[in-house]
Amino acid sequence: MPEFKLLLLLMIANGTPVIARKLFGSRFGFPLDGGVKFMDGRPLLGSSKTLRGLLLAVVAATLTAPLFGYCWGIGAMIGGAAMLGDLLSSFIKRRLGLAPSSMALGLDQIPESLLPLLVCKVPLGLGWLSIAMVTMAFFVCELLFSFVLYRLHIRRRPY
């Protein structure tokens, strides 16, 4: 079932930065925005978006993609697009005045799952129904796994 494999790959790409933060703490956690403020005076992305998280997410997706029957390039595209979606949601959350790692239902799940699926739509021959199903499954799984990771003291907040 290709949808399940895509869901797993998305979970790996999006979960890697959270696990990396737990493993490495603040080591190698250089903020992507370098502390730059946007014209509204708020951080561009926030301190929780790091170079370490971005790189490790892309590497993890790239390395695991062949395990699911996808080429390395698809893995890199999924990892990169997932992180781009995550950065987009962080940018929007900062504009809304929400703190880094705060919960924004939908905004925290949809861009980081939908964008990679749209990027890979043509190369993987994905239909709109598959894209919608995987995005919704990711939405639900992200909420469930976030709670589990919180209970395991890997995630800071239980969403």
Q: What does the alpha-carbon distance between residue 120 and residue 85 come to, in Å, rounded to a whole number?
A: 14
Q: How far is CA 36 from CA 44, 48, 99, 135, in A?
A: 6, 13, 15, 31
In a domain, 70, yes or no: yes
Q: Does the predicted TM-score (pTM) go above 0.75?
A: yes
Q: What is the mean pLDDT of each run of 10 residues along the chain (159 residues)?
A: 94 95 90 95 93 98 98 98 97 92 89 98 97 97 87 77
In a domain, 142, yes or no: yes
In a domain, 159, yes or no: no
24 φ, ψ to 5°?
-100, -10
Which structural domain range is residue 57 located in? Answer: 2-151
For Cα atoms 79, 84, 89, give the angle at the middle one, nearest 5 degrees: 125
In a domain, 128, yes or no: yes
Count of the separate structural domains present in the chain: 1
